[in-house]
Chain A
């Protein structure tokens, strides 16, 4: 039965509703504006309360004294748009623009009955410029420096209050106060001098909305969507948000097809009840289940506790970035102890060697993978400054005393009617008092010894001034108010035990999972992802990641990754919101379709991390699981977020999507499978049919047949023993027309005995490579020493063949081989080399910078070995025309963009503490990437960019700070094939690092390359800045464990192939070739199972599921029902029947995404 939706007003402008039409386009003509203040007089303006506004010669009015209200008293306004300019004398100046308050002589009337658009750049989010004072935080801050004119645009329609500050929208709030009133400015205090000018207004006479429910009303009759919103929490959490979400969701019952029931009662989680709903909405519901019996104790995780002696916020000043951290110092019986945590690491570390006195603080901690770090800090007043040392690295470290950590007190206030419960959170400027129906800010908080005073205001009841005493964990005192003195008392909330409160029983958890398996929907908001950690099923349901931490509670930009879903279409490119951002313990991206993700620049994560740091923060996503639809968002911490139209529409549409009532593609996930083991891959090539050609360093070549899955050795090329010299079989490629009459394999290898690197073409016939068919295309003489051979082969879009060659030099060409440190120091002293970078002299000039030599280059030849006449140096006398780009140290892996022809090159750098690895781009050919004159951000000796011919800086680079490194490049991902990944990967560049074992991807943008001034050893360190392509938005694709990525290729169907290296000079046990695919539509398992009778015991059967495979490569679960009441869950089992009879045997094979195949047998047991 359809539900008829009643609406209060009519929507006549769907464009405005959907946010598609810029507001400016519906503004009335200029003539309709009315000037309230033109700069020539204050006529019509009225002062209420202390202080005044005075006319300034520049045509503005400026506040004096306070606190008062100066308002335009000639006319009240209903729906309008107001524009004005303001400027303040200092960042901390306080003022505001009041709207819709009644005529009054009391300035507090405007505060209590109207709304104030706040001006004060120094305050907390609830009271900062652009906020609706104490009610709705500004999405973002966009101030100009004090003394400059700012613009406010305030649009008030119905109960919707929208604010733009200097052209960007900073607030959008649905209010509930008066519909008409006056407009005025606040003169707050003597020190705040705030000027206003160009104040004008125009009325709006279009349709308006009196509530969020009305704004989001459904314009037509629709089949109801029955939603059960569960808000059960363990402990006191998200009370204000839950109240807000109840309010807005219940209101939607009146205007949309949503039929929302809300409950905190987990006993509702039973099939009989859930059957009445279409969507289960776990909205800030922190469900828990006990740890299963027998499950291992969770690893104790260190938490960052407050210190008893000192607490500091830290800033680690690494190049181009500040890493935020905290340190807490406490007193132990015999020593000082403490903890330190930086936000790039998930866990805090314990301190040792702590020394603290009046003017210094020092401590050490174990960083885990990078060794022991030492902090040596001077204390000046309250602040710290000094250095953190880690190995040879020294980084400036600063510190400031922390604000006290928020402490919660549960109090009971004695009122004349009944005791009133509240939670007081005392934590500096962010202190609040939370009542059952809402949370209020606490102002003027003051601690003095054991005594405490603070103030808060309840709109309906006025001001309350608290004075109390804190004794241990107890608090007591009284509230002074218009109702007299109200005593209160309470106690400190000590933590929030993880399993406090009600927990689900197994049946309730099963009810949730079964509900989804019926093809229904589950929606999850914010703390619903801080739930059910002990349930692998729930973890799988949400996509793998549950709450880990919330390092950022601030204004953030949320990027819309998929703008083509109902839940995102209204957002455009982004959503700004002031929120608590969840970081998950696993990335759901690869098990879901990500709708929204965090713009990391807004949390100042601008550094492109080269380690394993988190770099990908999905915010909202959808996925199919067990046949049902899951919509999840990490947003929804704050009450005012729920009252923001854009967010609420995201939720409403998410519920519709979860219910299956609106078009949305929930399916898709990544699979990884091993296609070849028992190989030791060094380089791989993938042909146009998806066959993989695998080269091993010691000369073996294998072929993976994509049709049959068979892997065979097809050649063993004789090459130089690679041990210690890195020579061997370096690279392999397959002719682009291999399956169309050109059955050639191209290999680059070191000829045995000669140390000449040779690029040759071989013919593949009769299932093997004919080594006798060798046609040598290029020879690159090298040297009988380690290392830097390069050796990657790639095809250009025009079927020319590119080859990377290393400089074949030594890593650090010191001025003498095998020189001791003392000898080196003496040499440096003798030759006045102190101003030079010791690790780089000039030996690679003869290769990488030598245009008569093929080493340290990217080379380009035709398939027959001749020189393409469009090569960049063709025709230039005395230069080898095969050279395409130069100045490279060890370009071990590179790729050619099949669409643009651009080359992306990974360059492995020297083994020195502060040298770099780098990534380069060759867009047209002819580029000089600078080695050995520069590498990464360092320019050696006297070199500067203008002295290096054809110089192009790298697009990414990193140092040893995170350990060993070997920068290498993977494919430029462009595919629409069957297994192609989504938009998040399209046109992105893969990068990977053999030493660090990660695979990442990012995008190139126009940016600025900046040199490293910290580690440049010259006396006059140049500050070099060059416009350059830069790699940004770098996210992790995978991190290998036990193996290292050494070659990556893109297959014709969008699959990504990775050669996983294990061992060093010989094969390790885990080496293999793997394949990643995006499975758009999950497929059920295929194949046949077998049942066999034991030859000696006719009642003993063997059940064999080996013949069942999953076409998507998923892990399978096998469930045998033997028909006699017995069951088993394994691929291969045996079962002995007790008695003769006819039995119906059933095998159900299910993949991890819920797709299953069922097969049955009727079996007669004699």
Chain B
């Protein structure tokens, strides 16, 4: 009670603001996943390959917050390189590094514009200071299974901060972990499947395209519901099991979602 009064008196601290924002982003992620799920189910029911691909592109957009560009192009999906992809709040970037490579500055500094992936990374960064708390750890584990296990570090080299995502902090995970897609995130599977559908020339073979859409739906359901990896009959908020549902559940326990 004392701490709450203190916060009221002094205004919300940045940490508390971040926790609230994390909760909001988690709820956004939940909504985006539902949108993606709906789009994928629509793809399964599409009446033409073109319509099916439009729904697949919608799935793509929920992930990155931008379309693939493949609806009008047989070539490459638009890729969101380091200047957008790694960004969570805009402060990691080092001007010297940008200048040395003649690179543009990052364009997007608002994770809210980055789809599931960008919002998820923002949540990870916000909750990392509380990782010692079990509920925070459960949120992080569940979210990481979806967006990939990552430590967002500054990666200082050549006197510059070169922000990068790495997996080295889980170097001692069991081999089973590395042989699942949970290490780099189940959402990556959805992303891959959406691009696959968009880049495949089905011709008139709608049936095959619908089978591929159905597989995408199943991958999205895994992102939401998680997976009983250890076969104990329950999906728990741990590495390789929990999904967004358990993340939301434990965010509630943590008090960042009402």
Residues on the A chain within 8 Å of B195, using CB: 880
Is A867 touching B200 in the complex (CB atoms < 8 A)?
yes
What residue of chain B has the Cβ atom nearest to residue A878's Cβ? Answer: B189
What residue of chain B has the Cβ atom nearest to residue A751's Cβ? Answer: B81
Residues on the A chain within 8 Å of B168, using CB: 813, 815, 841-843
Number of contacts between A and B (CB, 8 Å)? Answer: 160
Is A779 touching B78 in the complex (CB atoms < 8 A)?
yes
Partner of A846, one of B80, B85, B184: B184
Is B166 touching A843 in the complex (CB atoms < 8 A)?
yes
Partner of A756, one of B81, B167, B193: B81
Partner of A784, one of B162, B167, B190, B200: B162
- Given the interface pairs A785-B162, A852-B191, the reply to whether A753 lies near B104 with Cβ below 8 Å is yes
CB distance from A725 to the nearest CB of B (A): 7
Partner of B75, one of A775, A784, A831, A869: A775
CA distance A843 to B156 in the complex (A): 16
CA distance A159 to B55 in the complex (A): 91
Residues on the A chain within 8 Å of B218, using CB: 877
Residues on the A chain within 8 Å of B109, using CB: none
Is A755 touching B82 in the complex (CB atoms < 8 A)?
yes
A744 within 8 A of B: no
B183 within 8 A of A: yes
Is B164 touching A783 in the complex (CB atoms < 8 A)?
yes
List residues of A (29-64) whose CB comes within 8 Å of B's CBs.
none
Is B165 touching A755 in the complex (CB atoms < 8 A)?
no
List residues of A (933-968) whose CB comes within 8 Å of B's CBs.
933, 942-943, 947, 949
List residues of A (643-693) whose CB comes within 8 Å of B's CBs.
none
CA distance A246 to B201 in the complex (A): 78
Interface size on B (CB < 8 Å)?
A: 57
Residues on the A chain within 8 Å of B166, using CB: 813, 843, 846
CB distance from A843 to the nearest CB of B (A): 5
Residues on the A chain within 8 Å of B191, using CB: 852
Is A878 touching B181 in the complex (CB atoms < 8 A)?
yes
Residues on the A chain within 8 Å of B252, using CB: none
- Given the interface pairs A866-B201, A867-B199, the reply to whether A755 lies near B76 with Cβ below 8 Å is no
Is A779 touching B77 in the complex (CB atoms < 8 A)?
yes
Residues on the B chain within 8 Å of A129, using CB: none
- Given the interface pairs A865-B75, A878-B190, the reply to whether A842 lies near B170 with Cβ below 8 Å is yes
B90 within 8 A of A: no
CB distance from A32 to the nearest CB of B (A): 68
A85 within 8 A of B: no
What residue of chain B has the Cβ atom nearest to residue A847's Cβ? Answer: B184
Partner of A843, one of B167, B172, B193: B167
CA distance A836 to B171 in the complex (A): 10
Is B184 touching A845 in the complex (CB atoms < 8 A)?
yes
CA distance A780 to B81 in the complex (A): 9
B230 within 8 A of A: no
- Given the interface pairs A754-B83, A756-B81, A845-B178, the reply to whether A869 lies near B101 with Cβ below 8 Å is no
What residue of chain A has the Cβ atom nearest to residue B208's Cβ? Answer: A875
**Residue picked from A721, A784, A813, most chain B C-beta under 10 Å:** A784
Residues on the A chain within 8 Å of B212, using CB: 875, 877
List residues of B (169-202) whose CB comes within 8 Å of A's CBs.
170-173, 175, 178-179, 181, 183-186, 188-193, 195-196, 199-201
Q: Is the interface of A mostly helix, strand, loop or mixed?
A: loop
CB distance from B113 to the nearest CB of A (A): 17
CB distance from A879 to the nearest CB of B (A): 6
B7 within 8 A of A: no
A818 within 8 A of B: yes
Is A752 touching B102 in the complex (CB atoms < 8 A)?
yes
Is B192 touching A851 in the complex (CB atoms < 8 A)?
yes
B32 within 8 A of A: no
Residues on the A chain within 8 Å of B85, using CB: 781
CA distance A782 to B83 in the complex (A): 11
Interface size on A (CB < 8 Å)?
A: 58
List residues of B (59-101) whose CB comes within 8 Å of A's CBs.
73-83, 85-86, 97, 101
CA distance A775 to B76 in the complex (A): 9
CA distance A933 to B168 in the complex (A): 13
A778 within 8 A of B: yes
Is A785 touching B171 in the complex (CB atoms < 8 A)?
no
CB distance from B103 to the nearest CB of A (A): 5
CA distance A436 to B245 in the complex (A): 100
CB distance from B177 to the nearest CB of A (A): 9
CB distance from B154 to the nearest CB of A (A): 9
- Given the interface pairs A815-B168, A842-B168, the reply to whether A776 lies near B184 with Cβ below 8 Å is no
CA distance A949 to B73 in the complex (A): 34
Is B192 touching A842 in the complex (CB atoms < 8 A)?
no
Is B188 touching A852 in the complex (CB atoms < 8 A)?
yes
List residues of A (73-105) whose CB comes within 8 Å of B's CBs.
none
B216 within 8 A of A: yes
Partner of B188, one of A780, A785, A813, A853: A853
CA distance A337 to B171 in the complex (A): 52
B155 within 8 A of A: yes
Is A777 touching B215 in the complex (CB atoms < 8 A)?
no
B226 within 8 A of A: no
B219 within 8 A of A: yes
Is B179 touching A949 in the complex (CB atoms < 8 A)?
yes
Is A880 touching B79 in the complex (CB atoms < 8 A)?
no
Residues on the A chain within 8 Å of B23, using CB: none
CB distance from B210 to the nearest CB of A (A): 13
- Given the interface pairs A778-B75, A817-B157, A850-B184, the reply to whether A877 lies near B216 with Cβ below 8 Å is yes
Residues on the B chain within 8 Å of A942, using CB: 175
What residue of chain A has the Cβ atom nearest to residue B84's Cβ? Answer: A754
- Given the interface pairs A753-B104, A846-B165, A877-B189, the reply to whether A781 lies near B79 with Cβ below 8 Å is yes
Is B101 touching A784 in the complex (CB atoms < 8 A)?
yes
- Given the interface pairs A846-B165, A852-B188, the reply to whether A878 lies near B193 with Cβ below 8 Å is yes
What residue of chain A has the Cβ atom nearest to residue B154's Cβ? Answer: A817
B148 within 8 A of A: yes
Is B101 touching A878 in the complex (CB atoms < 8 A)?
no
CA distance A874 to B128 in the complex (A): 38
CB distance from B127 to the nearest CB of A (A): 20
CA distance A643 to B78 in the complex (A): 77
Residues on the B chain within 8 Å of A843, using CB: 166-168
A758 within 8 A of B: yes
What residue of chain A has the Cβ atom nearest to residue B78's Cβ? Answer: A779
Residues on the B chain within 8 Å of A779, using CB: 76-79
Residues on the A chain within 8 Å of B170, using CB: 842
CA distance A549 to B188 in the complex (A): 61
Residues on the B chain within 8 Å of A846, using CB: 148, 165-167, 183-184
CA distance A866 to B102 in the complex (A): 32
A451 within 8 A of B: no
Report B214-226 CB contacts with A as 1/0, cut-off 8 Å: 0110110000000
Residues on the B chain within 8 Å of A867, using CB: 196, 199-201
Is A866 touching B189 in the complex (CB atoms < 8 A)?
no
Is A721 touching B196 in the complex (CB atoms < 8 A)?
no
CB distance from B219 to the nearest CB of A (A): 5
Residues on the B chain within 8 Å of A758, using CB: 76
Residues on the B chain within 8 Å of A869, using CB: 200-201
Residues on the B chain within 8 Å of A831, using CB: 171-172
Given A725-B101, A784-B82, A817-B157, list of 18 further CB < 8 A pairs? A754-B103, A755-B101, A777-B76, A779-B77, A781-B85, A783-B82, A785-B157, A815-B171, A843-B168, A845-B167, A846-B166, A865-B73, A877-B215, A877-B218, A877-B219, A878-B189, A878-B192, A878-B219
Q: List 26 A-B contacts (CB under 8 A).
A: A725-B101, A754-B81, A754-B82, A755-B81, A777-B76, A781-B79, A784-B101, A784-B162, A831-B171, A842-B170, A842-B171, A842-B178, A846-B167, A849-B178, A850-B184, A852-B184, A864-B75, A874-B200, A877-B216, A877-B218, A878-B186, A878-B189, A878-B215, A879-B196, A881-B199, A947-B175
Q: Which 7 A-B pairs have the closest CB atoms?
A: A878-B189, A852-B188, A877-B215, A865-B75, A779-B79, A756-B81, A754-B81
Q: Which residues of B contact A (CB under 8 A)?
A: 73-83, 85-86, 97, 101-104, 148, 155-158, 162, 164-168, 170-173, 175, 178-179, 181, 183-186, 188-193, 195-196, 199-201, 212, 215-216, 218-219
